[in-house]
Amino acid sequence: MEKTPFVELRDVSLTYGRGAESLTAVDQLTMSMGQSEFVAVVGPSGCGKSTLMKLVTGLLLPTSGTILVGGKQVTRPVESVGMAFQNSTLMPWRTTLANIMLPFEIVHPHKRRLRANRKEYTARAQQ
């Protein structure tokens, strides 16, 4: 009996920019990983390792293809996944305040508290 993959990428591509200025970071990647499997992503700087992690965690959405985690299609940040960046980074589609608030939106117990105390959290972030 074949196990269902926990993480699955089906023909995933990600292109930054458009037209002549575009850069393909991931091109038609298909791979799967089982739950409890250990996978290492190795390669030189700039080859797409961090981009792959951002795709799997839902911090970036693919230009084409499908990503599944736990059998569910990734269409936004995945709640059951954490990621520590090697270098500090901001999500360019979020405002400065929204970038500061991101950990509170995805990390328990803050996530639950944020719903009830958004004004307090926002005031602290603005300070």
**pLDDT one-digit tens code per residue, 14-68:** 998 888 889 888 999 999 999 888 888 898 988 888 899 999 999 899 999 999 9
Domain ranges of the chain: 1-77, 90-127
Poorest-pLDDT segment among 1-5, 37-41, 74-78: 1-5
Q: Which H or E element spans position 51?
A: helix 49-57
Q: Which H or E element spans position 47?
A: none
User: pTM here?
Assistant: 0.65
Decide if pLDDT at 84 tops 70. Answer: no
Half-sphere exposure of 4 (CA within 13 A, CB side): 6
Cα–Cα distance measured from residue 9 to residue 12, given in angstroms and rounded to the nearest whole number: 6
Q: 74 and 62 in contact (C-beta within 8 Å)?
A: no
Decide if pLDDT at 85 tops 70. Answer: no
Domain 1-77 has CATH 3.40.50.300: yes
